[in-house]
Structure 1
Amino acid sequence: MVNHQHTLAKPVSSTGIGVHSGNIVNLTLLPAPANHGIRFVRTDLPGRPGVTAHFNNVVDTSLATVIGAEGCIVSTVEHLMAGFSGMSIDNAIVEVDAYELPIMDGSAGPFTELIQSAGILRQEEGSKCYFKVNTPITLAENGKSVTVYPADQFRITCTIVYNHPLIGTQTCDFVVTPEIFRKEICTARTFGFLHEVEMMKRYGLGRGGSLENALVIDTDRVLNEGGLRFADEFVRHKALDLIGDFSLIGMPIMGHVVTHCSGHAFNHAFLEKFFSQKESWETCTLVSDALQAGGKK
């Protein structure tokens, strides 16, 4: 846990393909002042409208996490947001010239490398605030669940269950630090089943999808050359998605998040439950490694 906010040391750009549109997307990450947060700006629209990365601005979670406000829509933000959160970036401006972010290789690895290439700047004027969980908060429904327990760090335990011989039941457990995020989480790729990919393409979706930006699974094998990056890459990617989705709460959580069969929609529903249960948490900063309680929001 750190006591100061961070931003990028300099602007940095990249180009990739939109997984659903199939169009080329240009992306630029820029520094932002303390207490700014993460804000997306659509450079392809008149007036360059923007939207702040916050769960109140989530407008769709069916295929990816989509945020929108005042005529500005940005889709598939979860992998970049996971990169910002995992690398402890609090403030940045994201310029993009399309409605969806580039999918890159299907993980947060390229975004993490982009952040590292920009450099990370400590902002002495900005104290970092946390949501400190004091009593458990749970959302459970139809075999899915998310619970956050009190803890003195951000820890995630993620379990998935698939009726498929290559996946089955997988669980991962991480205390999320920049080092662990870089080495163990950020390169885990999104995945899909071959019959689902074929169906999506028939309906005009996933036009930019390929074996270059997703794990594709047939009945008994992974179709990607080189196979898996981790034996449990599937659940690691779900943990990556969770980090990205939970970053939309606006401040990092000091707590242990335990999930079972959750996804974008259920993660978002949990964030709404989290904010409705204000008696279970408080805001705080870290000063000389000691907790300083703040007011509830």
Structure 2
Amino acid sequence: MNGMLPQAPVPFGTASRHDGQMQHTIRQPISSIGTGLHTGRRISLKLSPAPENTGIVFRRNDITLPPLAARYDTVVDTRLSTVLGGDGGDGHAERIATIEHLMAALAGCGVDNIFIDVDGPEIPVFDGSAAEFVFLLECAGIMPQAAARQHIHVDRTVRVEDGDAFAELSPATQPGLTIDISIDFPAAAIGQQRYVTLVEPGAFRQHLSTARTFVLQPEIDYLHSVGLARGGSLDNAIVVNGDSVVNPSGLRHPDEFVRHKVLDAIGDIYLAGGMINGHFRGHKSGHTLNNRLLRKVFAEQANWHRAPLGAPLSTPQPQAA
């Protein structure tokens, strides 16, 4: 929908494959190997079941690093990806980078509790989308647990801005998380795009999970000069040069760029520490604004509360916090 701005949410499906009232994990461990987008390293990834109320926990098995809970307040960098950090025991922060696509898959598939082990400083990029992560989760099997899921309900509108870019969370107008994102790039191949959806497993898998990350051709030399994007290729990213897409296979969706921004936002928002019940709206937002937004939401208890999804919807507040 390049250049088209729909005015109302468009949920591509209404029935979840999983009971949204209960927590979920995976049935059995599953592993894969891929390349780190920024380091270019070969990295092993293992996903394992976790007990109720564990949350999403990242662990590095190549260094001594305490487990990292996937939360907004353990994020230490957002410049080119979302990066978790902790104390490695010698006073230096150790990191796990590029977590957003995996986090999006976990949110999109409805996984609450899981252990994620890697033997390197970032999550493998695979094809630059969340599709491989969804495949792994579905191969492992997603199963309900005994504990009820406590959603994080947004009680009043909270907004952060950076120039003409903004991100905000508002009280839900329907159960679950709705996403409304618009982008505006000078590159003619991207231009203005907008995408609006209700986040649920069927829609995520079919319409969002395959959307790949993208980069502008002029940015590549800079990234390489600062030691980043060493593992980047046309196999795991869309490269845009003006009005052209460099990838020989072209795009998977006409609006793949904004779909990927939605995917990123879903992953970043899941760092709230649970499923959000609310409405996210962003314009030209990215990892930094998304993280700033969560920090502002949780800075005041009046902005949110925990309750089952079936609890009465909060009354929207017109003012921005």
- TM-score, reference length from structure 2: 0.87
Q: Find 1:2's aligned residue among 9, 20, 26.
A: 20
After the TM superposition, list the runs of 4 or more consecutive aligned residues in structure 1 that deviate by more than 4 angstroms.
289-293
Query: Higher strand share goes to which structure?
Result: 1
Letter in 2 for 1:229: R
8 Å contact 1:284–1:291 — kept in the other structure? no
Q: Find 1:103's aligned residue among 104, 122, 125.
A: 125
Q: Find 1:282's aligned residue among 305, 308, 318.
A: 305
Deviation at 1:201, TM superposition (A): 1.6
Matched, 1:114 2:136: yes
Residue of structure 2 in register with 1:129 after alignment: 150
Deviation at 1:244, TM superposition (A): 0.5
Deviation at 1:204, TM superposition (A): 2.3
Q: Distance in 2 between matches of 1:223 and 1:77?
A: 26
Q: Distance in 1 between matches of 2:168 and 2:131?
A: 27
Matched, 1:166 2:189: yes
8 Å contact 1:40–1:93 — kept in the other structure? yes
SS of alignment partner, residue 80 of structure 1: helix
Residue of structure 2 in register with 1:52 after alignment: 69
8 Å contact 1:285–1:291 — kept in the other structure? no
Q: Distance in 2 between matches of 1:67 and 1:107?
A: 19
8 Å contact 2:298–2:304 — kept in the other structure? no
Q: CA RMSD in A?
A: 1.5
- Per-residue Cα deviation, 1:215-252 (whole angstroms, up to 9, x for no partner): 00112211112101111100110110000001111011
8 Å contact 1:148–1:256 — kept in the other structure? yes
SS of alignment partner, residue 298 of structure 2: helix
Q: Distance in 2 between matches of 1:206 and 1:212?
A: 13
Deviation at 1:290, TM superposition (A): 4.7
Q: Distance in 1 between matches of 2:291 and 2:239?
A: 26
Q: Distance in 2 between matches of 1:219 and 1:33?
A: 48
SS of alignment partner, residue 229 of structure 1: coil
Q: Distance in 2 between matches of 1:230 and 1:18?
A: 25
Matched, 1:236 2:259: yes
- Per-residue Cα deviation, 1:164-184 (whole angstroms, up to 9, x for no partner): 111111100000000000011
Deviation at 1:50, TM superposition (A): 1.9
8 Å contact 1:9–1:120 — kept in the other structure? yes
Matched, 1:143 2:161: no
Deviation at 1:210, TM superposition (A): 0.3
Q: Which residues of structure 1 form unaligned runs of 5+?
A: none
SS of alignment partner, residue 276 of structure 1: coil
8 Å contact 2:81–2:100 — kept in the other structure? yes
Q: Distance in 2 between matches of 1:263 and 1:143?
A: 13
Structure of greater relative contact order (alpha carbons < 8 Å, 6+ residues apart):
2
Identity %: 40
Aligned pair count?
A: 289
8 Å contact 1:131–1:254 — kept in the other structure? yes
Deviation at 1:281, TM superposition (A): 2.2
- TM-score, reference length from structure 1: 0.94
Q: Which residues of structure 2 form unaligned runs of 5+?
A: 1-18, 89-93, 315-321
Matched, 1:35 2:56: no
